[in-house]
A = this chain, B = another copy of it.
Amino acid sequence: MAVGEFDLIRRYFQHPLAQAGARAGVRLGNGDDCALLQPAPGQVLAVSTDMLVQGRHFFPDVAPRALGHKALAVNLSDLAAMGARPLAFTLALALPQIDEAWVQEFATGLLELADAHGCALVGGDTCAGPLNLCLTVFGELPPEQALRRSAAQPGDELYVSGHLGQARLALEALRGRWPLPAAALQRCRQRLEWPQPRVALGLALRGQAHAAIDLSDGLLADLGHVLRASGVAAQMDVPALLASAAVGPELRALALLEPALALTCLLAGGDDYELLFTAPVAARAAVERAGQEAGVALSRIGRIVAMADAGPPCRLVDAQGRPYTLPPGVELAGFDHFA
């Protein structure tokens, strides 16, 4: 039986506000010309949008449930990087044809993550076309506590959450550029396909961190965005990074066998969806508590310095502050969709 656009929405994308644990800020959900949102008193609405395209952001044979999860996860990651609490989202979806089993799996992955974050699906659009997902997410936060890219200050220390580089390592393995044993590949692929947005960490860092960004383009590229926005420079302590919790077991093993590839994955991996943030030295203990509250390891990997007249905004250094020379073969190009 042919299923139409409106049936599709009714069957798979109804998201009762109660099920989503929707907060009072959702004044009107699905089904009208517009949804109505109202941030809590004293708070503002944080808004972010991301588009995912087949072949660029996911493989054609990706499991639809994972795709539904990831489509929302990468958007929630932007809210986390701002310190915002998720409130709601919209979904626009172009589908080459209606495959109900596919849509059902996609919706399940999407709405399970939405429910876990009390984030209500409040509107959207469905049309026929090459597979394309565009989500816009909304969160709430007190504006004076927003973790802005432009707020890094000289003297701040530089942190990352979680493990870096696993998603990139999975990609390299799937492309046949590096052999990984099955269990390791499975763990890395999990990071690539089921990223967990660091929402709790972003909330815990409110009032403690200065600047934050989520790692989607790669550590150095995203650090570059923060430095440019803040008008500062950074010294990244590469040995500290390599010794830190940011390097999980797969990358630690890789570093022994093929250091250049390990550094490529760590410094320019992309798709990490961890948080990179800066905080003053005085906030060290509070930052540590924030990591514990959020249940994620934090690594201190460098510091923010005043912008120099010459030289790159991010200098790679060793523990003594001397220039650190990368081994040949490290690929540092920041991710650019048209490069």
A interface residue numbers (CB < 8 A to B): 2-6, 8, 27-28, 31-39, 44-51, 53-57, 78-79, 81-82, 84, 88, 90-95, 97-98, 122-130, 132, 134, 136, 138-139, 141, 143, 146, 148-150, 212-214, 229, 336-339
| Cβ A53 vs Cβ B336 within 8 A | no
What CA separation (Å) do A5 and B225 show in the bound complex? 13
| Cβ B46 vs Cβ A148 within 8 A | no
What CA separation (Å) do A82 and B32 show in the bound complex? 8
What CA separation (Å) do A81 and B36 show in the bound complex? 13
User: Contact check: which of B33, B49, B127 meets A337 at CB < 8 Å?
Assistant: B127
| Cβ B129 vs Cβ A55 within 8 A | yes
| Cβ A92 vs Cβ B49 within 8 A | yes
For the complex formed, measure the closest distance between the CB of A230 and the CB atoms of chain B, giving whole angstroms.
11
Smallest CB-CB separation from A78: which chain B residue?
A: B33
User: Contact check: which of B45, B81, B132, B338 meets A132 at CB < 8 Å?
Assistant: B132
| Cβ B136 vs Cβ A49 within 8 A | yes
Complex contacts, A97 vs chain B, CB 8 Å: 338
User: Contact check: which of B3, B33, B45, B51 meets A134 at CB < 8 Å?
Assistant: B51
Complex contacts, A94 vs chain B, CB 8 Å: 51, 53, 132
| Cβ A338 vs Cβ B98 within 8 A | yes
| Cβ B229 vs Cβ A49 within 8 A | no
User: Contact check: which of B36, B49, B90, B141 meets A123 at CB < 8 Å?
Assistant: B49
What CA separation (Å) do A196 and B18 show in the bound complex? 37
Complex contacts, A214 vs chain B, CB 8 Å: 33
* 4 closest Cβ pairs, A-B complex: A53-B129, A134-B134, A34-B46, A51-B92
| Cβ A47 vs Cβ B90 within 8 A | yes
Complex contacts, A54 vs chain B, CB 8 Å: 129
User: Contact check: which of B4, B45, B50 meets A92 at CB < 8 Å?
Assistant: B50
For the complex formed, measure the closest distance between the CB of A13 and the CB atoms of chain B, giving whole angstroms.
13
What CA separation (Å) do A88 and B31 show in the bound complex? 21
| Cβ B143 vs Cβ A53 within 8 A | no
Contact A37/B33 with A51-B132, A127-B53 known, Cβ cut-off 8 Å: no
| Cβ B81 vs Cβ A128 within 8 A | no
What CA separation (Å) do A81 and B88 show in the bound complex? 21
What CA separation (Å) do A149 and B126 show in the bound complex? 19
